Amino acid sequence: MIPAANGEKRGVIYTFYSFKGGVGRSMALANVAALLAKWGYSVLVVDWDVEAPGIERFFTRDNPGIQNLRANTPGVVDLVQAKSDGAPFPWRDCLIDVKIGSNSSRLSLLTAGRSGEDYTSRLHALNFPELFDKHELGSYIEELRNEWAAEYNFVLVDSRTGVTDHWRDMHGPLGRCSCAAIYDNRVEHRGRAGDSRASQEGAGTFSAGPQEALCSAGAGQG
């Protein structure tokens, strides 16, 4: 953990990002989370890839019922929806405890949201530009981040791919550090270069300050 402005120690938040899908970003995050938990750290995994969720699948070996738990447990989409409705509820009510082997520390999972036939319609019903402009979603995300960092040694966020209208606003308040999973081709490199600049610009608009590091992990060649 790192010292905060008030002298208290806080956890570190890493946002795992890739310009394209299918480069191993979520798998890398799951492996890092498992290792950190085995090493005795408390870890929170947040599935912010709301349009292609499912990071819980990487933990099914030790947690065979985890997908059923996701179906009945609220997550990111539900938290955002509740915020937009003016009836926010505690994020701790969304956590799923994840078991990693026989000897590990605390590993919690905050999924993208309750799975089911209505997941896509609930996601598409969210008007993110309006949520940022009229419902202070940016401040709400920053509050979540601060609470997560106060309770966990590490917070690992599985980010969305590509660039969307609200991607920079999401990415800025979420991560102090960004880990980029890069597939070795021209499209990925060009996209990631632009995303890095946008990410730094977005982070600079929030009180937490800009990113502290950018760690790139090659995931293949193409």
Look at residue 216 in the predicted model and tell me its pLDDT: 34
Render pLDDT for 137-184 as a digit per residue (tens, 0 to 9): 888 998 999 999 999 999 999 987 655 555 555 555 565 555 655 455
Q: What's the structural domain count of the chain?
A: 1
DSSP 8-state symbol, 55: G
Distance CA(107)–CA(105), nearest Å, equals 6
CA distances in angstroms from 124 to 118, 202, 203, 208, listed in the order given? 10, 23, 25, 29
Look at residue 67 in the predicted model and tell me its pLDDT: 92
Range of the domain at 76: 2-221
Render pLDDT for 19-46 as a digit per residue (tens, 0 to 9): 666 778 899 999 999 999 999 999 999 9
Looking at every residue in the chain, the average pLDDT score rounds to 76
Between 196 and 104, where is the model more confident? 104
The answer on pLDDT for 119 being more than 70 is: yes
Look at residue 64 in the predicted model and tell me its pLDDT: 94
The CATH number of residue 33's host domain is 3.40.50.300
Render pLDDT for 5-26 as a digit per residue (tens, 0 to 9): 445 678 999 988 776 667 788 9
E strand or H helix at 46: strand 43-47
Q: What's the average model confidence in pLDDT over 203-211?
A: 33
Render pLDDT for 64-102 as a digit per residue (tens, 0 to 9): 999 999 999 999 999 999 998 999 999 999 999 999 987
E strands present in 51-187: 96-97, 107-110, 154-158, 177-184
Look at residue 205 in the predicted model and tell me its pLDDT: 33
Sign of the Cα pseudo-torsion (161, 166, 170, 172, in order): positive
CA distances in angstroms from 84 to 94, 133, 172, listed in the order given? 17, 11, 20
Which residue has 């880990």 as its token pair?
A: 179
Q: How far apart are the first and last CA of the chain?
A: 37
